[in-house]
Each structure stands twice: as C-alpha cells, then as structure tokens.
Structure 1
Amino acid sequence: MKSEAINDLYYVGFEGEPEIIFMYEKSNEVQVLKLWNGYFESLLDCLVQQAPVQDGILHEYCVHEGWYEESPWEITNVEKAVQLFKSFDVKKVTENESSNIIPVLPAITMDIIIFLEQAIQSGNRVFIVYE
C-alpha cells in the first residue's frame, strides 16, 4: 500500500466543499495537492481572460469536460499546463473576481507549478481528481 504525501493548505477550512486534487505517484508514495474548487475555478476564470482557450486544462474547464466527466483525468501535456499556469498575471485580474480570493491565487499558482514540475522531473503522469 502506498503512502500519501498531501499538501492540503488550500483546502483547510473548506472541508465538505468540492475539491480538486492534483496527484502523481512517486516510488511508493502518492503526491497530492488538494485545493478548494472555488480557488481552482477562480484561477481558471482568470486564465481564460489571459490565455487562449484551445486545448488542455482551459478547454476542459470551458466545456465542462475532463475532470468533471471522468475522474481521475490525466493531464496529457503537463509541460503545456506548466506554461499555462506560468502565464498567470495577477495584475491582469479584473475586479469581477472575488476580492478575498485574488490575493491567494499567486501562491496557489506557484504551488501548482512546483507540483507539476516535480512530476515532470520524476517522469510521472499527473491526474486531476474532482470530488
């Protein structure tokens, strides 16, 4: 049985609410980054304003497929996902987003990038689980 290394910093206080889980297996351990879905969807809403919605995570979000339909859902191009999250610019966020969420988005984005880059470095497949 594999142990889990869980980072749930962005889910604490939202227990019972919908969650998004990024995960990959590394040796005998499952690496997990758990987020409150409200943070993740706010981040994606901001990215839709800043990046083209062609394929990948933004496309799946806009058409409500991917992790919404099948969970776990594999991020097939992790490098492209990293580039998407690196393109996030909090200075370009409009006031339409909830003001108490905006200050947290840069830290969440950085943790997602670090998580995905670690998965790339260890040569592992990354999945998103929606619960």
Structure 2
Amino acid sequence: MEHINNKYYLGFEGEPEIIFTVVKQDNEKSGLSLWSGYFDNIMQQITPVEGKWTALSYYYNLNIGWYDESPWLIENIEGAYEQFKGIDKNKLDELELEILEKILELLKKSIEEKNNVYISYE
C-alpha cells in the first residue's frame, strides 16, 4: 500500500513537484508531495558549514541527486534531518513552517525505524 500526502502540491499541478517517499522494511510506502517552490524556500534557509555545503544542501545547491535521478536515495538521513532542524523558523511563512515540520517528522521517524527515504523531482 502506498500513501503520499499531496496537500502541499494541490493547486500546483503541472509545476515541478518534490516527493519524499519513505520505504519501510515491509516495502510499504508513504510520503509527502510538495510544490518545488515551497521546497526551494525551505532549502534556501540552510547555511553552509565552514563555507561548504554538506548533506542534502550539497546536492540541492549543485542541482544533482534527485535532479539527475529520481527517485534518489537519501544516504545521510541524519545529516538531512539536522540541516532541516537547524533552519531558523522565523524566516519561513506559516505554510512553509508546517511543511518543514512534516519533513522533520518524516525524517525522524525514518531514522528511528531504519527506513529508506527517497526524493523524487517530477
């Protein structure tokens, strides 16, 4: 069974879409679909570490990873989680903050349950 929450993509059909897909140990899939504009605004709040992009922001800023190959496995879920967790929430609007919380919840649960997480760009 597959359940993808597309609440944050509704109304943007035909625009670029980012999909986080969690694949559980029993191969059950769930995830979160969102308009790439929301994702871009959130990702732009991540700052370099000692002048270098790391973890998920590395792939985002170089337009590789999920831009080249979808679905793309996030190999460092912990690093991605820490980056999203470190975002200054005051720089996001209410809806972007809600999306960030959903992403954090998805990544944290995946770390705890040792699930794989993929990003797709469509």
Same fold (TM over 0.5): yes
Report the CA distance between 1:28 and its aligned residue: 4.6
1:110 counterpart residue number: 101
Q: Which residue of 1 aligns with 2:23?
A: 25
Quick one: distance in 1 between partners of 2:102 and 2:73?
A: 19
Aligned-residue Cα RMSD (Å) equals: 1.6
- Asked if 1:12 corresponds to 2:13, the answer is no
User: Which consecutive segments of 4 or more residues in structure 1 shift more than 4 A?
Assistant: none
> Quick check: 2:72–2:118 contact (8 Å CA) kept in 1?
yes
Where does structure 2 lack aligned partners over 5 or more consecutive residues?
none
Q: Among the aligned pairs, what percent are the same residue? A: 40
What is the rounded CA distance, in whole Å, between the counterparts of 2:94 and 2:22 in structure 1?
Answer: 27
In structure 1, stretches of 5+ residues that fail to align are 94-100
Q: Which residue number corresponds to residue 97 of structure 1?
A: none
Q: Per-residue displacement from partner, 1:77-109 (whole Å, max 9, x unpaired)?
A: 101111111111132x3xxxxxxx733221111
Match of 2:117 in 1: 126
Match in the other structure for 2:74: 75
Structure 2 contact 56–79 (Cα < 8 Å) conserved: no
TM-score of the aligned structures, taking structure 2 as reference length = 0.88
Distance 1:28 1:83 in 2: 26
